[in-house]
């Protein structure tokens, strides 16, 4: 049963990677042709550097997804590229880069600033995760802070009450 699931994951990964590479080639060719040949009057060194620097993370992520998505050996299990968490964030970086490329091609260099959405969202996700963990753990001290703030625990209160009533008998 597990082997069947691994094969299904491998097929889905292969399809996703093939689509990713085809769309990436198409988007980059579109950007280069449209920006550098059709609107060639607006091309400067800054625009070339911006394209290279801001497209490099998406290309690096594509190579990373390729390395973990396709099994190189029959024994090696591959990761699911459609899983949540960090994989989702990697796909989002690629999508935001593509959106910025299309908008920059049509409207100009200043739209590369939309790429700043990625680190802002990353900082927001890290902050919300840290705050969620803090609430779950009950602050920095964990349960020790809760006990100090709220007085004795229920068990301690029960034992103290038994001691006062004289019912707390020790057996040997």
Is there a domain that residue 172 lies in? no
Q: What is the per-residue pLDDT for 2?
A: 66
Q: Which of 92-101, 116-125, 161-170 has the highest mean pLDDT?
A: 92-101
Is there a domain that residue 65 lies in? yes
> Within 10 Å of residue 69's Cβ, how many Cβ atoms?
20
Is there a domain that residue 49 lies in? yes
Residue 121 has pLDDT above 80, yes or no: yes
Question: Tens digits of per-residue pLDDT, 15-37?
Answer: 889 999 999 999 999 998 988 88
Q: What is the per-residue pLDDT for 3?
A: 78
Looking up tokens 């769309």 gives 23
Is there a domain that residue 146 lies in? yes
Q: Which two tokens stand for residue 112?
A: 């590369």
Q: Which two tokens stand for residue 162?
A: 């038994």
Is there a domain that residue 170 lies in? no
Question: Tens digits of per-residue pLDDT, 90-113?
Answer: 888 899 999 999 998 888 888 888
Is there a domain that residue 171 lies in? no
Residue 59 has pLDDT above 90, yes or no: yes
Is there a domain that residue 169 lies in? no
Enclosing domain of residue 65: 2-164
Residue 46 and residue 110 in contact, taking contact as beta carbons nearer than 8 Å: no
As for how many domains the chain has, the answer is 1
Three-class SS string for 8-62?
A: HHHHHHHHHHHHHHHHHHHHHHHHHHHHHHHCHHHCCHHHHHHHHHHHHHHHHHH
The pTM is what?
0.68
Is there a domain that residue 151 lies in? yes
């Amino acid at each position: 049963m597990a082997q069947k699931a691994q094969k299904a994951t491998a097929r889905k990964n292969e399809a996703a990677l093939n689509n990713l590479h085809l769309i990436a080639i198409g988007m980059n060719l579109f950007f280069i042709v449209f920006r550098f040949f059709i609107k060639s009057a607006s091309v400067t060194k800054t625009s070339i550097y911006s394209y290279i620097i801001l497209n490099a993370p998406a290309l690096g992520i594509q190579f990373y997804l390729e390395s973990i998505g396709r099994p190189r050996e029959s024994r090696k299990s591959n990761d699911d590229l459609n899983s949540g968490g960090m994989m989702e964030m990697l796909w989002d970086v690629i999508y935001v880069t593509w959106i910025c490329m299309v908008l920059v091609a049509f409207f100009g260099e200043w739209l590369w600033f939309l790429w700043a959405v990625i680190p802002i969202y990353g900082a927001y996700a890290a902050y919300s995760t840290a705050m969620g963990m803090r609430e779950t753990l009950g602050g920095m001290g964990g349960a020790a802070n809760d006990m100090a703030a709220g007085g004795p625990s229920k068990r301690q209160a029960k034992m103290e009450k038994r001691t006062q009533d004289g019912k707390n008998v020790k057996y040997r």
